[in-house]
Amino acid sequence: MMVPPMRIRTVNQAPPDTNGRYVLYWMTAYRRFRWNFSFQRAVEWAKDLRKPLVVLEALRCDYPWASDRLHQFILEGMVDNSAELSNRPAVYFPFFEREKGQGKGLLENLSKYACVVVTDDFPAFFLPNMIAAAGKRLSIKLEAVDSNGLLPLRAADRVFSSAFSFRRFLQKELPEHLSDFPLEDPLANADLPRIDSLPEEVVQNWPPDMVPFSRQGIGGLSALPIDHSVQSVSTRGGTRAGEDLLRSFIEEKLRVYHSARNHPDEEGTSGLSPYLHFGHVSVHQIFSKIASAEKWSVEQLDSRVQGQREGWWRMNPGAEAFLDELITWRELGFNMCSKRKDYDQITSLPGWALEDLLKHSADDRPYVYSMHEFEEAKTHDPLWNAAQIQLAMEGRIHNYLRMLWGKKILHWSRSPQEALDIMIELNNRYALDGRDPNSYTGIFWVLGRYDRPWAPSRPVFGKVRYMSSRSTMRKLKVAHYLQRYR
Ligand SMILES: Cc1cc2nc3c(=O)[nH]c(=O)nc-3n(C[C@H](O)[C@H](O)[C@H](O)COP(=O)(O)OP(=O)(O)OC[C@H]3O[C@@H](n4cnc5c(N)ncnc54)[C@H](O)[C@@H]3O)c2cc1C
């Protein structure tokens, strides 16, 4: 199985250097070794050129919102990755910065000795710019590989304005990609040459020491120039924890996902979004495990292409509902981020929503809170405060309440632009799964993206969909939730 060419993007014009000492996989977004097209592509290069394979997984401390919470989750993943590659035919080079800029020059120096560099093609946050800049600096070939979703990013040549239109597109296009899955273990049977040592110059300047921190003594983190006020959480990062969670979700919750997911008291969702965001588990892997649990095969697909939300996969209702979130909604955001540079700007809203919000920008608000008041959960509304407390304490918000959380920030901010800034800041700062294409799907959905106008027109919202805490409390089971996050 080769990596589909549609998933490979050549970033620069430089040729591979066949005299190099190794192939370099620069892991930036899909922080795992299994079910990963990027890593698989690097293994393909190493096999073709009969060269050793080196994997660089680096962690900077100067990226926006860097904190104990995010660092710990990523570092736990690095611990797993280090264990996973020991005794395998590839060298793992973990590097995390102790001070800002310490990693500068590391990639260039490692790649001076490489034949080719392969990296991850993630379409959001600072990563696209970082990869473009690296492409300019490297004097050997740099490839970025897309392992983001079941649908390759380049399989669609337009931006979709609704989940319905994207679902229709998926129902037409996805079947041909369902046989192109990444290998579970690209290193299985890979007889790659070993490397004795990494270049001296590199090791001396950037010693690859393995994570001098543990859950008991996070001494390593407190010395770093990152935000220590956003503390680490008990949700453990890494592929092992992600796979355990996936297993228990499929065994215990998938069957009733459709009926339980909206009720905060039932904890009926998977909790997989942080692992998807940091690439500790892959969407292909999740899909495969669900397909086997459902004893599903591709022949079962409904051949009608109607954009229907349920019934297309012909799986159980729980699995159908889950795949609609995991594939339709998740990949809708990847489509947007890969095609529009302004995906995080208010100008990217559909015309009707932007016009309406601006028209109502000066409307009186029943309450107006500052960023600080929102952050401290100091509103008049206990349900909203509970959601914010969950976000600040645990790095997550129940999905349904996340919609309400956003809608009320819009309602109680001075302007739509200020509401957008507050949502981006709080979501990306506190949520483990923030800084993701899904972050912008959710935040911009609050402002009308992927939605339609809803009558009647209301103050502040215009025809943008309105939500209230009162009706949420009427419809959903929230008693325990309110108790827990008081
Ligand atoms: C204001 C707002 C902000 C959001 N910010 C983020 C964010 O930063 N990161 C993030 O991953 N999701 C975000 N979402 C979407 C959604 O809330 C989360 O994906 C979901 O709650 C994650 O929990 P889970 O893994 O248990 O989801 P499950 O219900 O188990 O769903 C499985 C997976 O499907 C995808 N998914 C589920 N719901 C959505 C959705 N509505 N839109 C897109 N993909 C979805 C996620 O990858 C999720 O992990 C946001 C939604 C809103 C309204």
Q: Percent of the chain scored above 70 by pLDDT?
A: 98
CA of 16 to the centre of ligand 1 (A): 39
Question: pLDDT class for 216, splitting at 50, 70, 90?
Answer: very low
Question: SS3 for 187?
Answer: coil
Q: Using a 6 Å cutoff on CB, does residue 443 contact ligand 1?
A: yes
- Tens-place pLDDT, residues 20-71: 999 999 999 999 999 999 999 999 999 999 999 999 999 999 999 999 999 9
Which neighbouring-strand residues pair with 118? 25, 143
Which of 263, 399, 410, 449, when mutated, tests ligand 1's pocket best, judged by the most ligand atoms within 8 Å of its CB?
Answer: 399
Report the nearest atom of ligand 1 relative to the CA of 261: 29
**Model confidence over 263-284: pLDDT tens digits?**
999 999 999 999 999 999 999 9
pLDDT (0 to 100) of residue 215: 47
pTM for the whole structure: 0.97
Which atom of ligand 1 is the closest one to the Cα of 326? Answer: 34
Task: Give the Å distance between the CA of 412 and the centre of ligand 1.
Answer: 23
> What is the 116 CA–ligand 1 centroid distance (Å)?
35
Cα of 4 vs centre of ligand 1, distance in Å, is 28
Q: Indicate the pLDDT class of residue 208, thresholds 50, 70 and 90.
A: confident
Angle between helices 382-394 and 416-430 (to 10 degrees): 40
Residue for token pair 């199985």:
1
- Ligand 1: centre distance to CA 59 (Å): 24
In ligand 1, the atom with minimum distance to the C-alpha of 333 is 43
| pLDDT the model gives residue 77 | 94
Per-residue pLDDT tens over the stretch 319-339? 999 999 999 999 999 999 999
C-alpha 55 to ligand 1 mean position (Å): 30
d(CA 234, CA 212): 19
Which atom of ligand 1 lies closest to the CA of 427? 8
Question: What backbone phi and psi angles, to 5 degrees, belong to 40?
Answer: -60, -40
- The answer for residues whose C-beta is within 8 angstroms of residue 11's C-beta and 6 or more apart is 119, 131, 132, 134, 135, 142, 143, 144
Of 336, 276, 345, 349, nearest to 153 (Cα)?
A: 336
Residue whose Cα lies nearest atom 14 of ligand 1: it is: 442
Q: Which of 259, 433, 443 to mutate to test the pocket of ligand 1 (most atoms within 8 A of CB)?
A: 433
**pLDDT tens column, 329-388:** 999 999 999 999 999 999 999 999 999 999 999 999 999 999 999 999 999 999 999 999
Measured distance CA(438)–CA(273) in Å, rounded: 9
> Using CA atoms, how far apart are residues 117 and 16, in angstroms rounded to an integer?
9
Domains, the chain, with CATH or none: 346-484 (1.10.579.10)
Atom of ligand 1 nearest to the CA of 249: 30
pLDDT at 213 exceeding the cut of 60:
no
Check: CB of residue 164 under 8 Å from CB of residue 307.
yes
Ligand 1 nearest atom to the CA of residue 398, by list position: 21
CA 352–ligand 1 middle distance (angstroms): 25
> Which of 29, 24, 237, 32 lies closest to 126, judged by CA?
29
